[in-house]
Amino acid sequence: MTDPTTPAPTTPAPTTPAPTTPVPAASDAPTWPADFAERYRAAGHWKGQTFGGMLRERAAAHPDRVAVVDPGDGPGTTRRWTYGELDSRADRLAAGLLARGIGRGDRVVVQLPNIAEFFEVVFALFRIGALPVFALPAHRESEIRYFCDFTGAAAYVIAGEHGGYDYRKLAAAVRADVPALRHVFVAGPDAGEFEPLAALSADPVPVDGPAPGDLAFLQLSGGSTGIPKLIPRTHDDYLYSLRGSNEICAVDEDSVYLCALPAAHNFPLSSPGTLGALHAGARVVLCPAPGPETAFPLIERERVTITGLVPPLALVWTEAAPGTPHDLSSLEVLLVGGAKFSEQAARRVRPALGCTLQQVFGMAEGLVNYTRLDDPEETVVTTQGRPISPDDEIRVVDDEDEDLPVGATGHLLTRGPYTIRGYWRAPEHNARSFTADGFYRTGDIVRLTPTGHLVVEGRAKDQINRGGEKIAAEEVENHLLAHPAVHDANVVGEPDPYLGERTCAYVILRAGAEAPKPVAVKRFVRERGLAAYKVPDRVEFVTAFPHTGVGKISKKELRAAAETAPGTDPAPLTES
Ligand code: AMP
Ligand code: DBH
């Protein structure tokens, strides 16, 4: 194996440090105590590798194998980048970033669709030790402004126009509000007032890269509070989760991974995802849209062997597969996760798609569970899998943090070699989200089967899981409260046959305020620059909220009201 810091033949040996801003202080986030770190190293989990080194090794071992296929947007626009090409593109972009003063420890908000440049950008950033902040294409001004501002981002990377949306306008608005944001780089043909990404490409320069224990990037949490949380992941810990995932999902250099979900999301990034595939020397095929009309022809053409979907999409694929003219026979494994996949839907996967289902229950904070390829069918369709690592510690506890017997339903706490010990720059929140001895409070309600598999039974966190897209109720409530006619607001999930859950906003209007139409309230939230998936599906005006015994608003009763009698005022529940 090559030393991860060994430069490519085109790169001179690392000598002078590049112009950089200081590496973030350790206090940006709690990390593993020394004895745990020692244990994880001794067990071989943390191997002392970086992402920059990983790509370098792959490129050296098989420069001409295809790494990334980007089908583009029409016939003749397919791009196929080999490992060698991806590696040298990352070097050249790294040089361009360094020349603009972006370096080790700097944060860069990356908001790219499923295009090849996503990998060029993140590997360039990995190589210089700058931290990608993984925004989703669905995010809008509210989220992006916050990410840029909170992380003190040096740069923001977008695709000019995509999916009918002009990200340059978003960038202009964000830059006006966040003066510290020095650069906006645009992938694609028309950068407008900003710098084209392609213009950064320069001859490789010596790079003072990150250490394996350094942060590699900041991933986003679905969150349950008004402010999104950022998840600090290191090279060593994330690479371990990739190796473990590859082994469990049998990803090797002959695999072809179709990235159908947004590439920046933790699931398609790492479970085993695009980075798992690249780690294995396999091929990544980017899918511009996740519906069968786009994905099925690509599966046939590129001989895709494995992909991952959220439950609503898995349902659509299983319905579409029997009637498709496309040959899906190359598909060996379908991973489904992000939200609970119903047993009935799980049973339909193999007959419809002819492949093995793997359920995956994961979180960007760390812990990932998979059903195994050789698990009995009943386990695969009725559980959400078991942890990657023998060193993943799982506790199922009651409301007082007391351990429950195996089989009992309670709160899932976890600690392990790839689960964070704290969010980035969030000490107060960390005190609530982690136990004193470092277990992450997942907010999920689970039970353990005798075989050690987890079954997700519900959620204790104030979050709506809208078909795999997580929505923090408080974040939406804060936007509703900004409406001049709104006195108070509560957002809860209600059952939806397709998404699993959708959002309902219960709103109390100000005395004397003219009642807006529900649709106007939705528009108000959207116009405040919130991602479309967070805009309430339904807005109900009510006169009061149900309360608990101690006078807190009862979200439980609100949820029950939404479930049993949509459209009725839940206030009477308290009066009975
Ligand atoms: P995040 O912390 O934003 O990465 O979201 C992770 C959360 O998604 C988990 O804590 C669960 O609430 C939910 N989740 C992910 N996969 C599954 C699954 N297979 N079944 C049920 N919930 C899931
Ligand atoms: O929902 C998730 O965040 C998720 C689901 C499956 C995840 O992070 C993962 C696998 O790694």
Q: Are 270 and 276 in contact (CB under 8 A)?
A: yes
Residue 102's H or E segment, with its range, is none
The partner residues of 369 in beta bridges, in order of sequence, read: 361, 387
Average pLDDT over residues 146-158: 98
Termini Cα distance of the chain: 71
pLDDT value of position 548: 87
- Residue showing tokens 């001049």: 484
What residue owns the CA closest to ligand 2's atom 8? 363
> Ligand 2 test: best mutation among 271, 371, 388, most atoms within 8 Å of CB?
271
In whole angstroms, how far apart are CA 383 and each of 287, 413, 554? 28, 18, 30
Average pLDDT over residues 398-407: 98
Whether the bond into 272 is cis, omega within 30 of 0: yes
Q: Please give the order of strands across the beta sheet that includes 454-459.
A: 393-397, 410-415, 440-448, 454-459
pLDDT band at 3 (very low <50, low <70, confident <90, very high): very low
What residue owns the CA closest to ligand 2's atom 6? 362
Residues 367 and 387: their CA atoms lie apart, in Å, by 7
Residue 573 above 50 pLDDT? Answer: no
pLDDT value of position 26: 52
Phi, psi of 7 (to 5 degrees): -75, 160
User: Of 165, 167, 198, 171, which Cα lies nearest the Cα of 183?
Assistant: 171
Q: With the C-alpha atoms ordered 280, 285, 288, 289, is the resulting torsion angle positive or negative?
A: negative
Query: Percent of the chain scored above 90 by pLDDT?
Result: 89
- Our CA angle for 238, 415, 412, nearest 5°, is 115
pLDDT digits (tens, 9 = 90+) for 358-376: 999 999 999 999 999 999 9
> Ligand 1 test: best mutation among 341, 357, 465, most atoms within 8 Å of CB?
465
Using the atom order of ligand 1, give the atom closest to the CA of residue 220: 3
pLDDT digits (tens, 9 = 90+) for 432-446: 999 999 999 999 999
Residues 551 and 452: their CA atoms lie apart, in Å, by 39
Residues 374 and 350: their CA atoms lie apart, in Å, by 14
pTM of the model: 0.93
What's the 151 CA to ligand 2 centre distance in angstroms? 23
pLDDT digits (tens, 9 = 90+) for 236-272: 999 999 999 999 999 999 999 999 999 999 999 999 9
What's the 339 CA to ligand 1 centre distance in angstroms? 6
**The two structure tokens encoding residue 442:** 């997942």
Q: How far is CA 447 from its chain centroid? A: 24
pLDDT value of position 567: 52
- Can you list the domains of the chain with their CATH numbers? 463-564 (3.30.300.30)
Residue 17 above 70 pLDDT? Answer: no
- Residue showing tokens 């006195």: 487
Residues 46 and 338: their CA atoms lie apart, in Å, by 26
Whether the bond into 22 is cis, omega within 30 of 0: no
User: Of 359, 353, 435, which Cα lies nearest the Cα of 30?
Assistant: 435
pLDDT digits (tens, 9 = 90+) for 298-322: 999 999 999 999 999 999 999 999 9
DSSP-assigned letter for residue 416: -
As a residue count, the chain comes to: 576
Average pLDDT over residues 378-389: 98
User: Which residue type does 156 have?
Assistant: Y
Residue 414 above 70 pLDDT? Answer: yes
pLDDT digits (tens, 9 = 90+) for 86-102: 999 999 999 999 999 99
- Our CA angle for 99, 105, 108, nearest 5°, is 70
Residues 268 and 335: their CA atoms lie apart, in Å, by 10
Average pLDDT over residues 463-474: 97
Average pLDDT over residues 483-510: 96
Average pLDDT over residues 420-430: 97
pLDDT value of position 8: 42
Name every protein residue with a CB atom under 6 angstroms from any ligand 2 atom.
266-267, 270-271, 337-338, 360, 362-364, 368
What's the 222 CA to ligand 1 centre distance in angstroms? 9
